[in-house]
Structure 1
Amino acid sequence: MVLAACGWADAQTDVVIALNEVYLTYNSDNNVNALENINLNLHEGEFVCLLGSSGCGKSTLLKIIAGFITPTGGTALMEGQPIKGADWHRGVVFQQPPLYPWLTVEDNIKFGLKMRGVAANESQKRTEEYLRKVGLLEFRNNKPYELSGGMKQRVAIARALVNSPRVLLMDEPFGALDALTREQMQTLIRNIWWETKCTILFITHDVDEALALGTRVVVMSRRPGKIIKEIKTDFTYSITGENSNRTRYSTRFQMTREEILDLINKQDLCYNI
């Protein structure tokens, strides 16, 4: 079956990340509840897209998984062990790629390997591999300021993946790109996911993007953020080349899209009443 061959994750697949009854309160004058009662498993090889209105806690949830912040309550586990601080096993890609401006493309990608003490020959081999994967071999000696927005994001993706993380966390990585570049980047990350079988959590505001990439779409409520719906999808396996528009304009794709938009719009409506 095609889905199994491509790494489709189900209840029997190993759980890589497990969030159990997680909540987070920002301690301020008003004690803002950002997340509440979050129960979420990320399975081996899944591509999970996280959707929700601005301020619903999507990025906060990603930061908990990354190890940047600790939840106020509940547990955040990776392969059964508590997440304590950032770790190269969980790579992160942000909307604005934080590249080192004084380093070349090649050295930016290689930086994490160098900090981990990976042998020079192995580091070079991996860096070459990912320069090819993201199509930047001929720009290896350029500095970040010489690159377009899409090219900078390719460097950021390569820098995260060159460490062979178990989980790749992406926080609206294509949000600042133009429509054409965005679609090209979607194709790139889909192809890399197919090839590496890396587990991906991808935050986006774009329902079409979520359906075009994810094997599961998770919809969050307004603050305090809760998971209100999880939808398994398989459109990413058919959105390739000439099949792209056929899939995007299929009845099933459009119906799923409308279902998700209705959920989000109802949340916004209730919030504004």
Structure 2
Amino acid sequence: MISVRQQENLENIIRLSNVSLAYSADSANVLENIDLSLNKKEFVCVLGPSGCGKSTLLKIIAGFIFPSQGTAQFGTKAIAGPDWQRGVVFQQPPLYPWLNVAENIRFGLKMRHFSKKQSEDLITDYLEKVGLLAFRNHKPYELSGGMKQRVAIARTLINNPLVLLMDEPFGALDALTREQMQAMLRKIWLELNNTILFITHDVDEALSLGTRVLVMAKGPGRIIREYKTSFTYSAAQENTESIYHCDDFLHMRGEILHLIRSAV
């Protein structure tokens, strides 16, 4: 294992112990023997080939599905279902088309009975964070793909979840928009100190965002390697493009690509 930066000891917030999942009693396991801990303030990226169970792993942590074997815990309690403290952002932002940007972002606060004054202050704050203050009254059909995803991120973050779960959120975006969204997410994470679990199939994206990168293989899905990184801190302080050409980045990138190809 290559470690570019030694991680500080952080408080554990999510723990999966010996987790396996099969969708029926007579089907093969989709995931098998998954042991995973997420700590406060970490940015963990999960990489692997299609079909290795990355999204399934996220759904277990979100509480959408339950393991066939093993345990999944949030803090000291078993994950029993979805919870606003574990916010989820999908690749296709599920915005309500009849609501404008501000109303979409307000939705979770409304369900939690926040006052109008509290909601307005928070909405303005998070619209500024995602760079959409001037678009607060626009409807989703008036927005680009990247802008819609910014709304979805703001709508999730405004609830102040302890954990942000992101399932290939930038996978459908063009390269330039994707890089802008990565920079925005990096900045928000450094400011808010949420724990993030980020699913991606892009090695460069994982290394430029994560403080920890997990590589999965399929047949059945399992974690085969973990890397601790610090490239996201470098990217926040300088031109992101420069980290793609440094020796440590290229070495780790090459090793991960070799692992994934070998696993396939």
Which band: TM-score by shorter chain?
over 0.9
What are the Cα deviations for residues 8-49 of structure 1, in whole angstroms up to 9, with x where unaligned?
853x31001000000100117x51311000000000000000
Secondary structure of the corresponding residue to residue 99 of structure 2: coil
Q: Which runs of 5+ in 1 are unaligned?
A: 269-273
Q: What CA RMSD, in Å, does the superposition of the two structures yield over aligned residues?
A: 1.5
- Match of residue 17 from structure 2: 20
Secondary structure of the corresponding residue to residue 209 of structure 1: helix
Change (3 A) 1:39 1:235: same
What are the Cα deviations for residues 83-137 of structure 1, in whole angstroms up to 9, with x where unaligned?
1110000000000000000000000001001011122211111111101100111
Determine whether 1:137 maps to 2:133.
Answer: yes
Determine whether 1:97 maps to 2:93.
Answer: yes
Tell me how far apart the structure 2 counterparts of residues 175 and 219 of structure 1 sit (CA, whole Å): 18
- Match of residue 257 from structure 1: 253
> Runs of 4+ in structure 1 displaced over 6 angstroms?
none
Select 1:186's aligned residue among 182, 198, 211. Answer: 182
Q: After TM superposition, give the deviation of residue 141 of structure 1 in Å.
A: 0.5
Tell me how far apart the structure 2 counterparts of residues 163 and 80 of structure 1 sit (CA, whole Å): 21
Higher relative contact order (CA 8 A, sep 6+): 2
- Match of residue 266 from structure 1: 262
Q: TM-score, normalised by structure 1?
A: 0.93
Determine whether 1:172 maps to 2:198.
Answer: no
Select 1:65's aligned residue among 48, 61, 83. Answer: 61
Q: Which runs of 5+ in 2 are unaligned?
A: none
Determine whether 1:79 maps to 2:75.
Answer: yes
Contact 1:57 1:223 in 2 (8 A): no
Q: After TM superposition, give the deviation of residue 80 of structure 1 in Å.
A: 1.2
Select 2:195's aligned residue among 187, 190, 199. Answer: 199
Identity of aligned residues (%): 61
Tell me how far apart the structure 1 counterparts of residues 22 and 236 of structure 2 sit (CA, whole Å): 42
Secondary structure of the corresponding residue to residue 228 of structure 1: strand
